[in-house]
């Protein structure tokens, strides 16, 4: 492709729409409104009960301060609880409450439905092309890392 502009504009539109989707709050557990970053934080904690704030910040790719702010919100919503680590009094471990586990399982079901839709799309794309797409996105991410 000699002129990358069409691809660049398509990527920009896609990224913009994804950012809008990430900001779109959704209902969980009947009446709890959560943003995508909030429910993804719950998903990480649900997958790794007892995760530390430091580990969570690494998993989310954000600062410990950002994770701490998120955890305060989720504690206030009754979805996450903080406990002193059994290995160090200076470290907090994060656990889901019963309501948090309910949100976690609802989110998992939504992901399974979405994964089925994406699998249908990916089934129409040859394996070799999928590998190229993955490598392209990794390269693009590295370039974004440099810019950030």
Angle at 86 between CA 39 and CA 105, to 5 degrees: 25
Residue 125 lies in a domain: yes
Does this model's pTM top 0.85? Answer: no
CA distance 60 to 55: 9
80: left (phi over 0), alpha (psi -120 to 50) or beta: beta
Domain residues for the domain of 84 are: 27-147
Q: Any alpha helices (H) in 24-52, and if so which ranges?
A: 36-47
pLDDT digits (tens, 9 = 90+) for 26-58: 999 989 999 989 999 999 999 999 999 999 999
Note whether 99 and 29 are within 8 A (CB): yes
Residue 1, pLDDT > 60, answer no
Question: Residues of the chain with pLDDT > 90: what percent?
Answer: 72
Residue 19 lies in a domain: no
Note whether 84 and 100 are within 8 A (CB): no
pLDDT band at 86 (very low <50, low <70, confident <90, very high): confident
Q: How many domains is the chain partitioned into structurally? A: 1
Picking from 92, 117, 93, 96, the residue whose alpha carbon sits closest to that of residue 105 is 96
CA distance 70 to 35: 11
Task: Give the CATH number for residue 57.
Answer: 1.10.10.10
Note whether 32 and 42 are within 8 A (CB): no
pLDDT digits (tens, 9 = 90+) for 91-147: 889 999 999 999 999 999 998 998 999 999 999 999 999 999 999 999 988 988 898
pLDDT band at 2 (very low <50, low <70, confident <90, very high): low
């Amino acid at each position: 492709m000699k002129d990358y502009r069409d691809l660049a504009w398509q990527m920009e539109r896609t990224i913009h729409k994804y950012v809008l989707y990430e900001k779109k709050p959704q209902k969980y557990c009947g009446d709890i409104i959560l943003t995508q970053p909030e429910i993804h934080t719950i998903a990480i904690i649900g997958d790794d009960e007892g995760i530390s704030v430091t580990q969570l910040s690494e998993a989310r790719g954000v600062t410990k301060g950002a994770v701490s702010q998120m955890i305060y919100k989720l504690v206030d919503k009754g979805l996450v609880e903080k406990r002193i680590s059994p290995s160090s009094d200076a470290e907090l471990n994060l656990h889901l409450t019963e309501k948090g586990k309910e949100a976690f399982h609802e989110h998992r079901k939504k992901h399974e439905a979405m994964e089925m839709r994406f699998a249908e799309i990916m089934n129409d794309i040859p394996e070799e092309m999928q590998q190229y797409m993955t490598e392209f996105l990794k390269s693009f991410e590295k370039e974004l890392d440099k810019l950030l």
